[in-house]
């Protein structure tokens, strides 16, 4: 490579002064382009040495580099003139002097390189030959790069799939375009040697120009448009060229054609059946893109042949029911009963519309006779939001089965054209594709490109030529295909699956199709796309076209074709009849991720209790020791880190933990118990606040790292800690998907600062909060959201607790029955758990509880910033020993508790403000009159413990104190619940910042003044007198 670069560097064009010395004859070249005639500046100086030729710029120099490679392997593989040129260049000829016109093309091989002094000398015939060969090679390259622009991709024949209506000037769409290359019609019968970077020759090494153009057109300008020349890997480009350029490569056996026809029949007749039975129901039919079904089946068959056992899919509304029926093979009666509005749901929760539900199915692949598991991940309406979720689930399945390179588990993502181009999450997901802790080793993307998004034309929907251009960012090849040519579709799908199996990189299949109906079956498309839909009405359905083709070819008879149709119609009718027997809808039949053995057979938790989350003194000491040492030899850590580790060792000696150690104890103990822990997010390895240091870096050896958490015990589960890409939406979606795969793992996503979670709002609103209610599947993902008003300005301050609390499903106005298992039952009933721990001991417990609970719920944790290092905010081992557990509410245990009847005020608070309140109380000497209770679990609300605390301080008034603004934070959530707890017998007064639009001030002084003000209120026992 180095030699090539050196040589290529010598091939660069001369500087202006060098060029001036060598300028020879210059010929203006005229070429006709569509419509007008353009005069080009001279582009070649043929009497000048090769080195001053513009063809050595850009793409051409790549071409020369490739030729140089080929020459290195076999000097005979390049034209004689290039052989001489490379020999001279390699022999050290100065720039501009390496080119020599060969004496004769038939000169004996092995001729010694001529003296450099004799190099210059023009031989017009030979020059013309070299010139024409170069022209032909440029022409081949032009087809490889731009052939897809003229491919016939649109089945309707009215739109350009690439929005770029101009025809490239260097593609020979008419014979006058030959002039662009300095060629003319008389050259068409001349034979040209083919470069090594094309496969159009098959076994031939030279072809007449006419045939070269014909073959290029066959390869690049028919129903397949291949976009790949941006890939900067020669091997990958060659691989693709071979697949598409080799003559006759697209051959199908009659058997394959019959299978394809049968699949087209299923796809088409399924939609027709639904239309017939439920003509007034939305189903987002596939009409116009029926070849999607055979396309997916081909990808799956081919992947199964290559060893894939598990395929995880994500897709939008379009054709989803068809995919469930004909790809995943969900029982038809189950699908049909979803159309019966009278059936009652057997499961709790809201359920979801039929075209959002997920599915999991294990079966034998009929083509390969191998077991295959197919799942379709449930998703919301929010287009593309499921993409990272699918990737996370795929990664997890790969991880848990030890599939390190994606040979056994893969993902397929389907997209609509408008959504693929428009939704930023697509880009975020692509950017995860090659990151070590996020890669799924290649995803096959299939775009249902019906050239419309609801009512919007592509021209109004995107600025990129193709809807698929986003995939270029990761060098994924893009295969555009006219979806009305089912064989072309099948071929590209085979290649896509092989690409994934060979290179383990993403690939895109762009099914250019149309949408026969409106956006849904109720919609009138003629309002907005009248001409397109006039054409669509005339369009013969693809099944009919393909059947006629096969009948004409004699592959099937009309009778066989009709029998196949009746066979499938009968299957549908029978399933329809069976669906009438269904009395009840079971959403749990639509689970996308079964958790075998975790629940009872009826799907219930195995108990309604949670064991103590405490840990033995030895375990605490042992994990503490790992956390404060470097468990590998000859590893030099940074001096500052040594001090941190010493500090940790000192704390462990004193049987205390700070926040980082508390977390270490939680993660370390779970790992020891065989629970995989995965912590992902921006800069999580060190920790945004430089407190965590889970990955140590050798100061002397580049990229040498050590993860002490993986040195806790020999048979522990692995710990994954990974700095993520700078994405919230994508990465949180990914971790949510990861957490779906298994209940026996603690999966955490940490925001850099809590407020950044809102760029992942869709994952929170659409998946995490209502996921179980919509799709039955529980999820134990943990969100760590740094939160706290510390004078850092409007951003970096608030994780927006109010939003999470507003979405909790518990009723503020109903006092629940306090039973013995109340605390666990409440957790079981909630949609998510929201906590704000004030000390590391409690944080440790809530992390462990997350796994020791017999069910899974999302956990939202507002985590501290300044408390990470606050000496008062440490915990003792005593708070973490066996028998201890998470405290939902930490009651006042100080002076106030000694004479509770003397307490005049009970302040409820949560999180960091507790330390400001206790300091203020001490300063004011009010420890006997003001009690402070910490609400550590905000939701589900600790009704029982709040009640006990209020009853204990029966003479006290009640204040909720928070550092957040009044319209933010927790007040609106806790106030009605406290009132319900006390049967509305007292008021709940507010001490905190006033309502505001921004979460925090940017001015430090204002920040402190606000703090002072609300502390004054909190301790002014007369403050609320007027309001009583």
Ligand X SMILES: Cc1ncc(C[n+]2csc(CCOP(=O)(O)OP(=O)(O)O)c2C)c(N)n1
Residues found near ligand X in the complex (CB under 6 A):
318, 381-383, 416-419, 448, 450, 452-454, 515, 519
Residue 252 binds which entry of Mg ion, ligand X, none, CB below 5-8 Å type-dependent: none
Taking the CB of residue 213, how many other CB atoms lie within 10 A of it?
Answer: 23
The H or E element spanning position 939 is strand 937-939
Site string for Mg ion, 432-471 (x = CB under 5 A): ------------------x-xx------------------
- Between 337 and 383, CB nearer to ligand X: 383
Give the phi and the psi of residue 23 in degrees, each rounded to 5: -60, 130
DSSP β-ladder status, 507-512 and 443-449: parallel
Q: Round the CA-based radius of gyration of the chain to a whole number and report it.
A: 35
**Partner that binds at residue 942, options ligand X, Mg ion, none, CB closer than 5 to 8 Å by kind:** none
Residue with smaller CB distance to ligand X, 62 or 761: 761
Which residue lies nearer to Mg ion by CB, 240 or 542?
542
383's contact among ligand X, Mg ion, none, with CB below 5 to 8 A by partner kind, is ligand X
Q: Which tokens hold the place of 99?
A: 């080119």
Among 417, 510, 564, 619, binds Mg ion (CB under 5 A): 417
Q: Could you tell me the smallest distance in angstroms from the CB atom of residue 457 to ligand X?
A: 11
User: Minimum Å distance from CB 286 to ligand X?
Assistant: 9
CB of 155 to Mg ion, least distance (A): 14
By CB under 5 A, name the one of 95, 314, 416, 786 that touches Mg ion. Answer: 416
* Nearest approach, Cβ of residue 933 and ligand X (Å): 43
Task: Output the smallest distance, CB 776 to ligand X, in A.
Answer: 22
Burial classification of residue 932, based on how many CB atoms lie within 10 Å of its CB (0-12 exposed, 13-18 middle, 19 or more buried): buried
Is the CB of 391 or the CB of 884 nearer to ligand X? 391
Contacts 24+ apart (CB under 8 A), 79-82: 79/130, 79/133, 79/193, 80/105, 80/107, 81/126, 81/129, 81/130
Residue 225's binding partner among ligand X, Mg ion, none (Cβ under 5 to 8 angstroms by kind) is none
3-state SS assignment for residue 347 = coil
CB of 534 to Mg ion, least distance (A): 19
Q: Which does 662 bind (CB under 5 to 8 A by kind): ligand X, Mg ion, none?
A: none
Which of 930, 846, 832 is closest to 888 using CA atoms?
846
Contacts of 368 (CB under 8 A, 6+ apart): 301, 304, 305
Read off φ and ψ for residue 816, nearest 5 degrees: -75, 160
The DSSP output letter for 766 is I
Determine if the peptide bond prior to 940 is cis (ω within 30°): yes
Q: Note whether 960 and 974 are within 8 A (CB).
A: yes
Q: Are 659 and 868 a contacting pair, CB within 8 Å?
A: yes
Neighbours of 464 (CB within 10 A): 14
* Tally of CB atoms within 10 A around 694: 20
Q: Which does 311 bind (CB under 5 to 8 A by kind): ligand X, Mg ion, none?
A: none
| C-beta closer to Mg ion: residue 154 or 944 | 154
Instruction: Write down the least CB distance from residue 682 to ligand X, Å.
Output: 24
Residue 448: strand pairing partners: 416, 511
Say whether residue 940 binds Mg ion (CB under 5 A): no
Q: Are 926 and 959 in contact (CB under 8 A)?
A: no
Do 826 and 861 form a contact (C-beta atoms < 8 A)?
Answer: no
* Nearest alpha-carbon partner for 398 in 676, 149, 599, 591: 676
Q: Which single residue brings its beta carbon nearest to ligand X?
A: 416
CA distances from 177 to 37, 63, 218 (A): 11, 22, 18
Task: Write phi, then psi, for 704 (nearest 5 degrees).
Answer: -85, 125
Cβ distance to ligand X smaller for residue 319 or 486: 319
The CA distance from 184 to 174, in Å, is 11
Q: d(Cα 784, Cα 803) in Å, to the nearest integer? A: 15
Query: What does the per-residue mask of binding to Mg ion show for 980-1009, with x meaning CB under 5 A?
Result: ------------------------------
Nearer to ligand X, 452 or 896 (CB): 452
Closer CB to Mg ion, 88 or 529, in the complex: 529
| Minimum gap (Å) between residue 356 Cβ and Mg ion | 18
- Between 417 and 685, name the residue whose CB sits nearer to ligand X: 417
Q: Using alpha carbons only, give the angle 380, 383, 385 rounded to the nearest 5 degrees.
A: 70
Q: Which partner from the list ligand X, Mg ion, none does 454 bind, CB cut-off 5 to 8 Å by kind?
A: ligand X
Smallest separation, CB 448 to ligand X (Å): 5
Query: Closest by alpha carbon to 191, among 172, 215, 210?
Result: 210
Residue 99 or 729: which CB sits closer to ligand X?
Answer: 729
Return the number of the residue (59 or 464) whose C-beta is nearest ligand X: 464
Interaxial angle between packed helices 386-400 and 729-741, expressed in degrees from 0 to 180 and rounded to the nearest 10: 40
Nearer to ligand X, 452 or 853 (CB): 452
Least spacing, CB of residue 492 vs ligand X, in Å: 19
Nearer to Mg ion, 265 or 447 (CB): 447
Q: Which does 241 bind (CB under 5 to 8 A by kind): ligand X, Mg ion, none?
A: none
Closer residue to ligand X (CB): 384 or 936: 384
In the complex with ligand X, the residue whose CB is nearer, 265 or 419, is 419
Residue 335's CB is within 10 A of a number of other CB atoms, namely 22
Q: Which stretch binds Mg ion (CB under 5 A): 410-418, 633-641, 724-732, 763-771?
A: 410-418
- Separation CA 627–CA 711 (nearest Å): 10
Among ligand X, Mg ion, none, what does residue 175 contact (CB within 5–8 Å per kind)? none
Residue 387 C-beta: closest distance to ligand X, Å? 12
> Minimum Å distance from CB 282 to Mg ion?
16
In the complex, least distance from residue 359 CB atom to Mg ion, rounded to whole angstroms: 23
CB of 265 to ligand X, least distance (A): 22
Q: Report the nearest approach of ligand X to the CB of residue 749 (Å).
A: 21
Strand duo 930-935 + 889-890: pairing: antiparallel
How many residues line the site for Mg ion (CB under 5 A)? 6
The SS3 of residue 963 is strand
Beta strands in 427-564 (DSSP E): 443-449, 478-482, 507-512
Residue 323 or 448 with smaller CB distance to ligand X: 448
Using CA atoms, how far apart are residues 914 and 907, in angstroms rounded to an integer?
10
Give least dist CB 447 to Mg ion, A. Answer: 9
Rounded Cα gap, residues 295 and 301, in angstroms: 10
Q: Which does 913 bind (CB under 5 to 8 A by kind): ligand X, Mg ion, none?
A: none
**Segment near Mg ion (CB under 5 A); pick from 333-341, 412-420, 552-560, 1004-1012:** 412-420
| CA 818 – CA 821 distance, rounded (Å) | 8
On whether the CB atoms of residues 906 and 953 are closer than 8 A, the answer is: yes
3-state SS, residue 46: coil
CA 666 to CA 35: how far, in whole Å?
73
CB under 5 to 8 A by kind: which of ligand X, Mg ion, none does 381 bind? Answer: ligand X
- Smaller CB separation from ligand X, 381 or 967: 381
Minimum Å distance from CB 519 to Mg ion?
Answer: 9
What residues make contact with Mg ion under the rule CB under 5 A? Answer: 416-418, 450, 452-453
């Amino acid at each position: 490579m180095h030699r090539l670069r050196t040589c290529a560097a010598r091939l660069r064009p001369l500087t202006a002064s060098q060029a001036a010395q060598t300028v020879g004859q210059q010929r203006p070249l005229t070429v006709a382009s569509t419509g007008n005639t353009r005069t080009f500046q001279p582009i070649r100086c043929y009497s000048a040495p090769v080195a001053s030729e513009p063809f050595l710029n850009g793409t051409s120099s790549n071409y020369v580099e490739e030729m140089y490679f080929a020459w290195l392997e076999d000097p005979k593989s390049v034209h004689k003139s290039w052989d001489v040129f490379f020999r001279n260049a390699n022999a050290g000829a100065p720039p501009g002097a390496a080119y020599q016109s060969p004496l004769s093309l038939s000169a004996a091989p092995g001729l010694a390189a001529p003296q450099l002094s004799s190099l210059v000398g023009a031989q017009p015939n030979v020059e013309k030959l070299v010139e024409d060969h170069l022209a032909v090679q440029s022409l081949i390259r032009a087809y490889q790069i731009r052939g897809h622009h003229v491919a016939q991709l649109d089945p309707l024949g009215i739109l350009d799939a690439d929005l770029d209506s101009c025809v490239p000037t260097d593609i020979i769409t008419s014979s006058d375009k030959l002039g662009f290359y300095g060629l003319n019609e008389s050259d068409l019968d001349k034979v040209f040697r083919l470069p090594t970077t094309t496969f159009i020759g098959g076994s031939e090494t030279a072809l007449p120009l006419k045939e070269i153009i014909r073959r290029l057109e066959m390869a690049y300008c028919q129903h397949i448009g291949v976009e790949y020349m941006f890939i900067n890997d020669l091997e990958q480009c060659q691989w693709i060229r071979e697949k598409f350029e080799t003559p006759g490569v697209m051959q199908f056996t009659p058997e394959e054609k019959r299978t394809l026809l049968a699949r087209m029949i299923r796809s088409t007749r399924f939609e027709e059946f639904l239309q017939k039975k439920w003509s007034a129901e939305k189903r987002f039919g596939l009409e116009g893109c029926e070849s999607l079904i055979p396309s997916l089946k081909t990808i799956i068959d081919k992947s199964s042949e290559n060893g894939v056992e598990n395929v995880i899919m994500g897709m939008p509304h379009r054709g989803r029911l068809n995919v469930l029926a004909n790809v995943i093979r969900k029982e038809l009666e189950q699908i049909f009963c979803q159309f019966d509005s009278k059936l009652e749901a057997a499961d709790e929760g809201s359920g979801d519309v039929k075209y959002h539900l997920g599915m999991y199915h294990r079966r034998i692949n009929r083509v390969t006779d191998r077991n295959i598991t197919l799942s379709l991940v449930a998703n919301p309406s929010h287009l593309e939001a499921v993409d990272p979720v699918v990737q996370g689930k795929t990664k997890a399945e790969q991880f848990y089965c030890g599939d390190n390179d994606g040979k056994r588990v893969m993902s397929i993502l389907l997209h609509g054209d408008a959504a693929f181009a428009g939704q930023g999450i697509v880009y975020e997901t692509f950017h995860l594709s090659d990151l070590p802790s996020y890669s799924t080793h290649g995803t096959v993307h299939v775009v249902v490109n019906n050239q419309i998004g609801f009512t919007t034309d592509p021209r109004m929907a995107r600025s990129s030529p193709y809807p698929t251009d986003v995939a270029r960012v990761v060098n994924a090849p893009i295969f555009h295909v006219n979806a009305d040519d089912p064989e072309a579709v099948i071929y590209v799908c085979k290649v896509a699956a092989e690409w994934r199996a060979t290179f383990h990189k993403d690939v895109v299949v762009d099914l250019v199709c149309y949408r026969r109906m409106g956006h849904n079956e109720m919609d009138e498309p003629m309002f907005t796309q009248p001409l397109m839909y006039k054409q669509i009405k005339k369009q013969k359905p693809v099944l009919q076209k393909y059947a006629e083709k096969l009948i004409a070819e004699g592959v099937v008879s009309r009778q066989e074709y009709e029998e196949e149709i009746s066979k499938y119609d009968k299957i549908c009718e029978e399933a329809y009849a069976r669906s009438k027997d269904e009395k009840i809808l079971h959403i749990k039949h639509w689970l996308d991720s079964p958790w075998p053995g975790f629940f009872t057979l009826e799907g219930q938790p195995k108990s309604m209790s949670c064991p103590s989350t405490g840990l033995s003194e030895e375990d605490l000491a042992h994990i503490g020791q790992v956390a404060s040492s470097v468990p590998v030899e000859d590893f030099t850590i940074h001096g500052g880190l040594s001090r941190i580790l010493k500090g940790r060792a000192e704390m462990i000696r004193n049987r205390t933990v700070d926040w980082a150690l508390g977390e270490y104890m939680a993660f370390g103990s779970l790992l020891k118990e065989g629970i995989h822990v995965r912590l992902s997010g921006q800069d999580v390895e060190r920790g945004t606040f430089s407190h965590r240091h889970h990955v140590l870096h050798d100061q002397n050896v580049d990229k040498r790292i050590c993860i002490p958490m993986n040195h806790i015990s020999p048979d522990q589960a692995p710990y994954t800690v990974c700095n993520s890409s700078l994405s919230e939406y994508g990465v949180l979606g990914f971790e949510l998907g990861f957490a779906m795969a298994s209940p026996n793992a603690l999966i955490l996503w940490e925001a850099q600062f809590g407020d950044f979670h809102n760029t992942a709002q869709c994952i929170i609103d659409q998946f995490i909060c209502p996921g179980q209610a919509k799709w039955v599947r529980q999820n134990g993902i943990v969100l760590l959201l740094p939160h706290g008003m510390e004078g850092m300005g409007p951003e970096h301050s608030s994780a927006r607790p109010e939003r999470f609390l507003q979405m909790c499903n518990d009723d503020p106005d109903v006092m629940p029955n306090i039973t013995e298992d109340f605390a666990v039952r409440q957790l079981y009933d909630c949609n998510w758990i929201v906590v704000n721990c004030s000390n590391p001991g409690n944080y440790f417990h809530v992390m462990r509880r997350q796994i020791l609970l017999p069910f899974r719920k999302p956990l939202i944790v507002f985590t501290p910033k300044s408390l990470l290092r606050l000496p008062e905010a440490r915990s003792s081992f005593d708070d973490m020993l066996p028998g201890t557990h998470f405290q939902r509410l930490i009651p006042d245990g100080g002076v106030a508790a000694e004479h509770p009847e003397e307490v005049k005020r009970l302040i409820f608070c949560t999180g960091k403000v507790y330390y400001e309140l206790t300091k203020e109380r001490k300063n004011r000497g009010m420890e006997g009159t003001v009690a402070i209770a910490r609400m550590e679990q905000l939701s589900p609300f600790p009704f029982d413990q709040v009640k006990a605390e209020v009853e204990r301080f029966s003479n006290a008034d009640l204040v909720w104190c928070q550092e957040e603004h009044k319209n933010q934070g927790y007040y609106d959530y806790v106030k009605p619940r406290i009132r319900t707890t006390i049967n509305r017998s007292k008021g709940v007064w507010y001490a905190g910042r006033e309502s505001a639009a921004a979460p925090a001030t940017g001015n430090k002084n204002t920040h402190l003044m606000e703090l002072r003000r609300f502390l004054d209120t909190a301790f002014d026992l007369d403050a609320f007198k007027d309001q009583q």
